[in-house]
Amino acid sequence: MKKKLEEDKVVEFVLDLEEWKHNSLDENMLPMMAAQLKLMLQSVIGFEVHNLIPTTGSAFSKIKGKKSDVEAFAKTLGREKRYIESWKRHGLDDPRTYKSKNLLNKAIDGFQKKTGIKWPFK
């Protein structure tokens, strides 16, 4: 009898911010960008973004682009993470969650101004 070793799946993808800049006007790109960010968020926070269910797989991501664009992206992604964690821990009506959402909105505005790329989550 053979035993199978079951391992977590590793999903590798590359986020190219320069490519996003050139394709950001294409409405077909927005769902793809949102799907990539969802995978990245799941990897960072360890649970399904929409259902708040723990995930079993992990994602390995590479982010390409200008240093300042990558930094703005990382800051915004971190704010997304903190907002989701606050929402999960305290609920949507908690002042801490409102504060976290406000900081996220500021990070999104900064990212969009810096890169010219629309942040695909609202």
7-42 per-position pLDDT tens digit: 555 556 677 888 878 765 566 766 777 777 777 777
Residue 122 within a domain = no
Residue 40 within a domain = yes
Residue 5 within a domain = no
Residue 3 within a domain = no
Give the domain range for residue 31: 10-115
Query: Which three-class secondary structure state does DSSP give residue 117?
Result: coil
Residue 80 within a domain = yes
Global pTM reads 0.69
101-110 per-position pLDDT tens digit: 999 999 999 9
d(CA 20, CA 120): 11
Confidence at residue 17, expressed as pLDDT on a 0 to 100 scale: 86
Confidence at residue 104, expressed as pLDDT on a 0 to 100 scale: 96
Q: Tell the residue number behind the tokens 């769902």, with chain if given.
A: 31
Residue 4 within a domain = no
Query: Which three-class secondary structure state does DSSP give residue 25?
Result: coil
8 Å CB contact between 113 and 69 = no
Number of structural domains found in the chain:
1
Confidence at residue 59, expressed as pLDDT on a 0 to 100 scale: 52
Residue 120 within a domain = no
